[in-house]
Every structure is written in structure tokens, then in C-alpha cells.
Amino acid sequence: MGEIAERFRRVAAGLTRTIDEVPDDAWTQPSPCEGWNAIDVVRHLTTWIPGPGFLLGTFGVATDEMPAVDDDPAGAWAAVRDAIQAGLDDPTIAGRVEDCGPPGHLSFEAAVDMTCIPDVLVHTWDLARAAGVEARLDPEEVARQAAGVARVPPEMDLAMRASGHFGARVEVPSDADDLTRLLAFHGRRAG
């Protein structure tokens, strides 16, 4: 198994555990994502990843039959998670290169590394905050992603924020921990 496959497995396990801990009455609680509640966080991950213009659609990786996220958020996430993991664990799919739009031509595993891993990681925190449960975040991946966002060039930072996918960067002290710095890059306050 490749390094990206293992990293995705750990990050996805954190989201799975977090989803499993959400109390039934917390799915409608607001999340740190403006205009979204807890179920919307899971809805986002279970609709854009398998979408025809994005990861699974671009690479032709099919999910098993997926329940409606409103009826079974854990089942919907499991279908997407398992499809991504199966693609990463299959060397033919993991290494397949496709045109991924603005980032250019990427292999499946490179696309997962660039988009899915950070999105699942940060949205795990969002879901935990909305539901009032512990965020199940892999500390190694938090450190890796925090180091990565610290190297984003200013012109790419502007383009990412102009896309509407990122909120305004939050200023944090220079000695802030990895999670605080990662969340600040994504427009969130850790406190």
C-alpha cells in the first residue's frame, strides 16, 4: 500500500469516528462553514468527491449504492470513503493520470493527496465543532498539512480565496500550534 493510501485511510477513519459520535439531535447544528449545518458538511463530502466533474467522476471510480445523506450520513460517507480507498489500493487506478482542470494532469493518488485529504481533515474538525464532539484528527496529517499551507505562494493563496472555497485567512500568533495554523489558513478559529 502506498503512503497516500495510508494517509487517506487514517484521515478517513477520523471522519468516520466523528460521524459515528454525532448525536442524533446535533445534525442540524450550525457548523463553522458559513450557511452549513453538521449534515451539510457530510453532504458536501459525499456529493463533490463522487461528482461527475470531480475526483471519482473524473477517474471513473464508482461508489457502491449510496444511501441518502439525510437518512444515513455514516452510510453515505462509507460509500465514498470505500470507493476512494479502493482506488488508492489498486495500483492501476492510483497511478492513472487524468486532466483535473486547473491543477492540470494528475494521478488519482496525487488528486486525493491535493484535494481529498486536506478537505476531509478540515471538515472533520468542522463536523466535530458543529456536533460538540471531539475532532478525531490524525496529528501527523495535521502537521503535514500545516507545513504545506505555510508554503502556499501569495498568488496561489489569492486564487484559492477568490474561488470561494476558502474563507479569509485568520491571523494567528507566530508560535501557534499546527492545528491552529491549519485552521487559520482555511478561515477558521481554533478556539
CATH number of 3-137: 1.20.120.450
Residue extents of the structural domains in the chain? 3-137, 139-191
In this prediction, residue 112 carries a pLDDT of 95
Check: CB of residue 181 under 8 Å from CB of residue 172: yes
Angstrom CA distances, 130 to 1, 40, 72, 182, stand at 34, 10, 18, 18
- Rounded to whole angstroms, the Cα distance separating 137 from 124 reads 7
In this prediction, residue 52 carries a pLDDT of 66
Check: CB of residue 88 under 8 Å from CB of residue 102: no
- Rounded to whole angstroms, the Cα distance separating 126 from 135 reads 8
CA-based nearest residue to 190, from 97, 126, 143: 126
Q: Give pLDDT < 50 ranges for the chain.
A: none
Kindly report, residue by residue over 2-28, the tens digit of the pLDDT.
Answer: 999 999 999 999 999 999 999 999 999
Residue carrying the nine cell digits 493520470: 97
Kindly report, residue by residue over 41-70, the tens digit of the pLDDT.
Answer: 999 999 988 776 677 778 888 888 899 999
